[in-house]
Amino acid sequence: MGVDSGLPDFRGNEGFWKAYPVVARLGLSFAEIANPVWFENDPELAWAFYGHRLNLYRQTTPHAGFEKLLKWATGKPAGYFIFTSNVDGQFQKAGFSPEQIEECHGSIHHFQCLRGCTRSIWNASEENMIVDETVFRAARPLPCCRHCGGMARPNIMMFNDFSWLSDRSHEQQKRFAQWLQHLPKKSARLAVIELGAGTAIPTVRHTAERLVGRSSALTCVNPMFRRDISGWQLERCKVSSFWKR
Ligand SMILES: [Zn+2]
Concatenated DSSP letters of 154-180: EEE--TT-S----HHHHHHHHHHHHHH
In terms of C-beta density within 10 A (0-12 exposed, 13-18 middle, 19 or more buried), how is residue 93 classed? middle
One-letter amino acid at 106 equals G
Q: Which residues surround ligand 1, an ion (CB under 5 A)?
A: 113, 117, 145, 147-148, 150
The pLDDT tens digits of the residues spanning 141-155 come to 999 999 999 999 999
| Per-residue model confidence (pLDDT) at position 244 | 35
Q: How far is the CA of 68 from the centre of ligand 1 (A)?
A: 41
Share of the chain above pLDDT 90, in %: 58
One-letter amino acid at 1 equals M
Higher pLDDT, 109 or 20: 109
| Per-residue model confidence (pLDDT) at position 2 | 78
| Per-residue model confidence (pLDDT) at position 216 | 56
Higher pLDDT, 88 or 191: 88
| Per-residue model confidence (pLDDT) at position 7 | 81
CA–CA separation, 80 and 190 (whole Å): 9
Mean pLDDT of 89-97: 96
Q: How far is the CA of 48 from the centre of ligand 1 (A)?
A: 21
> How far is the first Cα of the chain from the last one, in angstroms, to the nearest whole number?
16
Is the pLDDT confidence value at 168 over 80? yes
One-letter amino acid at 110 equals H
Average per-residue pLDDT for the chain: 85
Share of the chain above pLDDT 70, in %: 84
The pLDDT tens digits of the residues spanning 104-138 come to 999 999 999 999 999 999 999 999 999 998 999 99
The strand pair at 131-132 and 137-138 is best described as antiparallel
| Per-residue model confidence (pLDDT) at position 226 | 38
Q: How far is the CA of 195 from the centre of ligand 1 (A)?
A: 36
| Per-residue model confidence (pLDDT) at position 8 | 78
CB atoms within 10 A of CB 220: 22
